[in-house]
Structure 1
Amino acid sequence: MQLTAIQVQHVVVDIIETTVQSWDGELDEPISPDTLLIQDLNFASIDFIQLIVTIEEKIGKKLGFHDLLMPNDKYIDELSVAQLTTFIESRLNSDQVFDQPINLSQSSIAVESKPIANERIDKTKLEQFRQHIPIPKRWEGEDTPKNKKAVFVLSSPRSGSTLLRIILAGHPQLFAPPELHLLDYNTLDQRKAALANKLNSHLLEGTIRAIMQIKNCNAEEARKLMEAYEEQNLPSKSFYGVLQEWIGDRILVDKTPTYPFHLDFLNRAENQFSEPLYIHLVRHPYGMIRSFEDAKLDQLVLFMRESSFTRQQLGELLWLVSQQNVLKFLEGIPQHRQLRIRFEDLVDTPEITVQQICNFLNIDFNTDMLNPYKEKEQRMTDGVELVSRFSGDLKFHLHQRIEPNAAYRWKQFHNIDFLGDITWDIAASFGYKE
């Protein structure tokens, strides 16, 4: 089946318009071939994922978007509708056979209906939100030997943890892979069953990328290794031990922002490791909320997708729950095993802050850590598949250096205080003001 450029453009524009409508947004002007996805439409990581998945579902064919979005293995800085249309047309009109018929009549993205008016977060709303967070399965295995020391970065999502991880990955004595999502589950089989779906399969890629790095192998070989452990139904705690054995004297760093969703996850770190260290990374709630809204993370989490809270409220609630749980957990941790740093300090005074972290971890400061955009393969910022590459923070790959302004862009959008008193109380304890 041959499609003209005009037909392809109609399909692309329809999908993009439906996507923007799903944000409860309105277009300032009609989408044209010159429309830019990042600059004009503010596309974020999840939007690229959704766009790619929807286009391929609609046409029933894999198009190899990696060639468009990562030419020469480097992320593009921008993408226009015309560029997207030309690429799709060339791939569609190739000699390859479609797996499914093309459906030009319907879009597969549902338009969400969410309340517009925001109300300040209070204890009642906080409790309602907590009740909707899925309860984890009870962890069993308290009597088994503990793994050796590891480092855990504890933060809410969208708090700069990706940048911190990549900074830490630049130190030769540390092994800091992408998000592992291991404390969340008792066994690897349970982890796979929970995450192997359209919305969350990219969350399985952190362990694959870690194996690729350690074993110096390709993705297929790493997947086979991982599948073997999953078939054994290996406990997550044991797999941590496998990773630590493989990396030798290096210290494992686990940066997974879902851990603070539950105190139980945090307690597992203490039960599964010997004298683990904790870096509590905090960010101004307005900065986190703006980043949460920009990335539209609620679209990836089922209980948030079904929530009656607005996206802004969800961002605040997630920040609040994460901080409450981390603070409660750290009350029982000796001071010498915990360090709090602010994202704003990390980007404002990176050398001072990173030196502080190195002192805490009892390792020598390494100046290469201050260039997180160097040695992308070594720091595992190249991902495994296209979706995993875009599942963290697309805009990270559009920078060339640590940018202080990144911590304060929220001030362009928030000029009216909307935070609840309960949120401000914690924020103030971190030294944040309006």
Structure 2
Amino acid sequence: MHNGGTPLFIAAFNGHVEVVAALLTAGANTEAANEDGATPLYTAAYNGHVAAVRALLTAGANTEAENEDGWTPLHIAAYNGHVEAVAALLTAGANKEVATKDGWTPLHIAAYNGHVEAVAALLTAGANKEVATKDGATPLFIAAYNGHVAAVRALLTAGARKEVATKDGWTPLHIAAQNGHVEVVTALLTAGANKEAAKEDGRTPLRAAAYGGHVGVMRALLLAEGDDDKEAGSESRWTPLHLACLDGDLARVEQLLQGGAEVDSAGKGGWTPLHLALCGRSTEVAARLLRAGASTTQATGGNTPLHNASYGGQAGVVNALRRAPLEAKNHEGMTPLHRACQRGHRDVVEALLRAGADQEAKTDVSSFVVMHAVWMEALLLHLRTSPAVMRPGGPLAH
């Protein structure tokens, strides 16, 4: 990090303001950068040495000097949450909308690390809360992605739009649901985020949460009642049995079934109590539903209960579902055996084979392409929301 640093750079990095002042009085160059393109002002901002930052600003240091990654002193102060340095730079006229090579503004970066005071300072200064990175991610999306609920609330209070999607169709609610951030999901829902928003592939926040196995998020989504629920009537709502099954509450499930609850009541997207029991990994509840006559063929997203049990590695449920259609294919052209193989669940594979599953069954021609696209989308989303300059070691770590 000190590679190529001048005495002024070293003094600024360590926050020795009296030494900084002496060097400036002697005519030290405020713009002399190290090998990474970082100036003395940048390194003072990096470490949050606000007195050194102010001394350099008074001496006329350039607030917009970028390092080799396109980061300014304001970017790095926001990244590390040094709110006093952020405030000093803003007061000196630092450009609050300057973007890195990937389109990240200081507000994106403060939101990424959940530095809510820095987020608030930037918002108060008028930073654009709707600006998007090259991949379409707004500061709200970035905060939601990492589960920083305080930053999410600050952005929502400032009026950030909740439904702005990335180029891949992900809204803040989608990504918070997929990553299991229940507090963020709740904050977004309270602010009126659309829980039924679907990507081009039909994936809703609920399905995204199910994909990640996030039961708490699923419960929050099920409990959230939107205007469409109120208008459509009770037939579209989630029942107490759905929630009891998701929670794995066998006693409550028993009570509801004894009271006449409809075992195959389907919520939006075709979710039955059995599907939710499987998402909650509750073998006992699933077995009780099957004894009550729950359908083994009703699908959600093309996946039958057997598909979901196979994917989740629930061998006990697979055995209970042995009379279910073994060769049913989901929207990706995969049978339950394919799904078990996909996840490497040997005990489930063996149970399916014992039940007579076709070990030579082939996926649809397009299945590999579809699955490859899904896997690549998830990988790229992670990479896109973790800029190279934020890798372990980060800026200036040399």
TM-score by length of 1: 0.28
Q: Identify the structure with the greater strand proportion.
A: 1
Relative contact order higher in (CA < 8 Å, ≥ 6 apart): 1
Q: Which has the larger radius of gyration?
A: 2
TM-score by length of 2: 0.30
